[in-house]
A and B are shown apart, each in its own frame.
Chain A
Amino acid sequence: MNPITDDDLVLYRYRDGLDAARIEQIAAALAESPALRERYAAIERAIANFDSQDVEPDPDLGSRLWRRLSPQLEEAGVIVSSSRGMLEHLRSWLAPPQARFAFAAMATVLVAIGVGFVVGRQTVTAPPQVASNEVEAAAARVLEAYVAANLRATEGVLLTASNSGDASLLEGNRELAQSLVESNRLYAIAAVRAGNTQLAAFLRQLEPVLLSLANQPGTATIQSSEDLRHFLDSTDLLFQVRTIEARLDRTGKRRADHDGDSRI
């Protein structure tokens, strides 16, 4: 018979991960050997200590969870609330850049027609709304380009922090993270003002990570890099950064192409 290890006894304790014959062998050996029984009892005592670490949720848990969840679900367009239903539909419809552009173009045409009708009866001048729309599009293009560049730098900071053990490189990385914290915050505010709440929420989510990298002690350990790697793996943060970065690049290019076409 194979010797019975403590690991076997742990599996025996749960009657799991062992075949029936092995369970029988262990049961027989336990009946015969006081020394084995003592080893088994020691495992039982150790495990029993864990049972004291338990908790009951407080009665307000459901309400508290709901208070935090409901605005997030509404923002994500998962909940269609009666009061905000139409607004949410409109907002989610407007969220994709293509649709936003289509809406802006349609609105511009309608405004131009309206303005043209009124103004054309008095004087012949170019509709001011068209110029205003061009300015807005240019501003959006500039914001997207800056945010994309910021995300590229953020991606570099995360990769360096999780993969490099070089002290001088990490020091530079920390300084870069410090500078990114402020710009990241500003772009989040700008994104809110531009009506892009999804981008703003994502940028806000990056802030604590950047802050922790900016405040990392000079003696960052291998463990901290490994923990960061685990964190990045488990949250898909790098993937999200790259996806949004690519999306902003594509949107920017589309806007630039469109502007180029409209000027021809």
Chain B
Amino acid sequence: MADDETRWIARARAGEAAAFRHLVDVHGAVLFRVCFRITGDRALAEDAVQEALLSAFRHLADFDGRSAFSTWLYRIAVNAALVQVRKRRYLEVAWPQGEGDAAVPFDAADESPTPDRHAMSAEISRDVDAELARMTPVERAAFVLRHQEGRSIEEICAVLSLNVSSAKHAIFRAVRKLRAALEAPGEPA
């Protein structure tokens, strides 16, 4: 960990508002990207980042410096994003919205009349979106961490509290769902 960051963390531990603000500015965007990849929704991602930072700052005394501060935050943020996705799924099932509401995490593709190729592309995009929405939070998180975040399966196990077999299978299921969307465009999933 850079000395500079160590100093900021020490100042934050002393309760200095400017230090917290600095840590938000430095880490907020990175955490937002990973949370968005897991939630697929800007608002949920922002809520997840906010919850993660709040939790991290409240438990700053627990950060022992064995891992990088960014790694520690990252792990908290991934789990905060999972909580947001589960909360949304629970609320959607328990309290369903009308059709067409923003219940599906990814915006539906543009449905205005377009040339054939555009229509086909939009159709595939919709199928992919639907499959993404069908992934369980853990499948999506495991796949995002492996594919987009470049984390090893070992790291994914640590972040998501999974064993190696569960982490691998979560990734396999996510890829199968993506393939199903691509290989059967237009067909009801």
Contacts and interface: CB of A to CB of B under 8 A. Distances in A.
Nearest to B178: A46
A69 B20 contact: yes
B162 interface: no
A10 interface: yes
B147 A50 contact: yes
Contacts, number: 154
A61 B30 CA distance: 11
Interface string B35-60: 01100101001100110011001101
A78 B87 CA distance: 27
A235 interface: yes
Given A212-B91, A220-B94, A49 B124 contact: yes
A212 B87 CA distance: 11
A109 B94 CA distance: 54
B20 A79 contact: yes
Given A10-B171, A10-B175, A234-B86, A69 B53 contact: yes
Contacts of A6: 172, 175-176
Contacts of B50: 65, 68-69
23 contacts: A6-B172, A16-B146, A46-B178, A46-B182, A47-B175, A47-B178, A50-B147, A50-B178, A52-B128, A54-B148, A55-B45, A65-B50, A66-B21, A69-B54, A70-B20, A70-B21, A72-B54, A78-B20, A78-B60, A217-B94, A227-B86, A230-B89, A230-B90
Interface of A: 6-7, 10-11, 14, 16-17, 42-43, 45-47, 49-57, 61-62, 64-66, 68-70, 72-73, 76, 78-81, 208, 212-213, 215-217, 220-221, 223-224, 227-228, 230-231, 234-235
